Chains A and B, each alone.
Chain A
Amino acid sequence: DQQVKQNSPSLSVQEGRISILNCDYTNSMFDYFLWYKKYPAEGPTFLISISSIKDKNEDGRFTVFLNKSAKHLSLHIVPSQPGDSAVYFCAASNQGGSEKLVFGKGMKLTVNP
């Protein structure tokens, strides 16, 4: 039962262009969403998050958009840089009780110079 889905396993973009990473979820109880970046042999690094009371959150080159009615969120990276090449995970949680995160399977982003 995949509650958080990242349907595209990989994405390749040119340096300087926009990268758009998508994520869908099925559990309407989720109210906090996060994006993590992960390099090989390292742990996930927190990038940006958004609460369900918002529809957009921006931090530098990273913007996350949330569409609650569609149960969809996306991460925009602009401009993309070669150092952004990594696996990106979408995660979700709810505030009631445990704060466990439910992760998608990840998407490998490659930014070509």
Chain B
Amino acid sequence: NAGVMQNPRHLVRRRGQEARLRCSPMKGHSHVYWYRQLPEEGLKFMVYLQKENIIDESGMPKERFSAEFPKEGPSILRIQQVVRGDSAAYFCASSPRTGGAGNQPQHFGDGTRLSIL
């Protein structure tokens, strides 16, 4: 999965702390997506961003979760006041453009495994 870089690979937090997950898309990609995978489940869409814009956040929990993709730097998924249920693998994907003829597949990073104590 060279190209989409996520860090940290593993993150341990205590309940009530904040978690920040970072994602640098592949070179030339301006679209970033975040997904969450619970054990024995498929990946669930959370949010879709372009530079400085949130395009679709229909999969984001209403509270404690936020995402950004600034003009400079990586995309950040931020979880405030973490709870045990936030323990999961969080994957970031990027693509060069959306839709139209010649769909472009999303390419994924290796994920951040978040554990809440």
* Genuine A/B complex: yes
Residues of A within 8 A of B (CB): 4, 32, 34, 36, 41-46, 49, 51, 89, 91, 93, 95-106
Question: How many Cβ-Cβ contacts under 8 Å join chain A to chain B?
Answer: 72
Interface residues of B in 95-113 (CB under 8 A from A): 95, 98-100, 103, 105-111
Q: Are A44 and B45 in contact (CB under 8 A)?
A: no
CB of B46, distance to nearest CB on chain A (Å): 9
Residues of B within 8 A of A (CB): 1, 4, 6, 31, 33, 35, 40-45, 48, 55-56, 58-59, 91, 93, 95, 98-100, 103, 105-111
A41-B110 contact, Cβ under 8 Å, with A100-B45, A100-B48, A105-B42: yes
CB of A9, distance to nearest CB on chain B (Å): 9
Residues of chain B with a CB closer than 8 A to A51's CB: 103
